[in-house]
Amino acid sequence: MRGASVLCVLLACACAAPAPRDWREAYARAAAVELDGELESPAGRARLSLRAAAPAAGEFEIVRAEEFFGERSVARMRWIGDGAAIYAVDEERRECAYTAASWSELEALAELPFLAPAWAPDAGIGLAAAETGPDGAVRAARGSLAGGAWSFRAARSRLLARARPEDYAVALPEGYAVLGPPETEFDHVRTLLQVGEYAPEITLIGLDGRERTLSEFRGRPVLLAFWFYH
């Protein structure tokens, strides 16, 4: 009987999936990721929440306290995946803008450098150390990027080997305008100016409050920096 028991244990071990060697492998294998935590970075402190199933189902939210010209505010950014694509949700404008075809293409997930390439662009860059749970899910991490040091600590973090995207999919809010993907709304690649072409005339307000046109600076090097505060 003892020999039979040992044989059963060996067979069970042989049939079980091998444990992931590191966090990269664990995330690459995961069908779904769930986490809630806090990120400290040069941009400030942010609460992050992700509940997502590959390739494009679920929800990702960043809530960050910000200070702009002495005024403090709370910025909330939210992306949802309906199972077919990822959309940025603008509650003020009541719009859902197509952002990516899958979570692995969503630039905003670069806020979580430990997610691994299967889940986030440029994942793993600047990561110095990570503490993981038995399933390989990162519970704490720290590192540094060009902007400075960052650290993350999860209140909850887990990986699921199996998950049905339909269980994670979030329907687009009713009554919201849906802005489609670039190829249907605005193809930014085909409309880029070519080297040697003249830039279109534009009128902008300078930092001095004066209205200026681009043609005023013709013949001189000009750097246009477009930015916004939301």
What's the half-sphere exposure (Cβ side, CA atoms, 13 Å) at 8?
Answer: 5
- Three-state secondary-structure class, residue 76: strand
Take residue 201 and report the two structure tokens written for it.
């005339």
CATH class as words, domain 18-185: mainly beta
Read off the pLDDT band of 203 (50, 70, 90): confident
Q: Any idea which residue has 């920096």 for tokens? A: 225
Read off the pLDDT band of 192 (50, 70, 90): low
pLDDT at residue 217 in the model: 87
pLDDT at residue 178 in the model: 92
CA distance 211 to 205: 5
Q: Any idea which residue has 């075809």 for tokens? A: 101
More confident residue, 130 or 78: 78
pLDDT at residue 16 in the model: 34
Can the peptide bond before residue 55 be classed as cis, meaning omega within 30 degrees of 0? yes
Is-contact 96 78, C-beta < 8 A? no
- Three-state secondary-structure class, residue 60: strand
pLDDT at residue 17 in the model: 38
What's the half-sphere exposure (Cβ side, CA atoms, 13 Å) at 46?
Answer: 24
Computed on alpha carbons and rounded to an integer, the radius of gyration of the chain in Å comes to 23
CA distance 39 to 115: 14
Task: Tell me the pLDDT tens digit for each residue of 4-50.
Answer: 443 333 333 333 334 445 777 888 889 999 999 999 888 788 999 99
CA distance 14 to 37: 36
pLDDT at residue 167 in the model: 96
Task: Tell me the pLDDT tens digit for each residue of 166-181.
Answer: 999 999 999 999 988 7
Q: Delimit the domains of the chain by residue range.
A: 18-185
pLDDT at residue 119 in the model: 72
Take residue 195 and report the two structure tokens written for it.
């080297």
Is-contact 118 131, C-beta < 8 A? no
pLDDT at residue 202 in the model: 85
**Spatial CB neighbours of 146, under 8 Å, sequence gap ≥ 6:** none
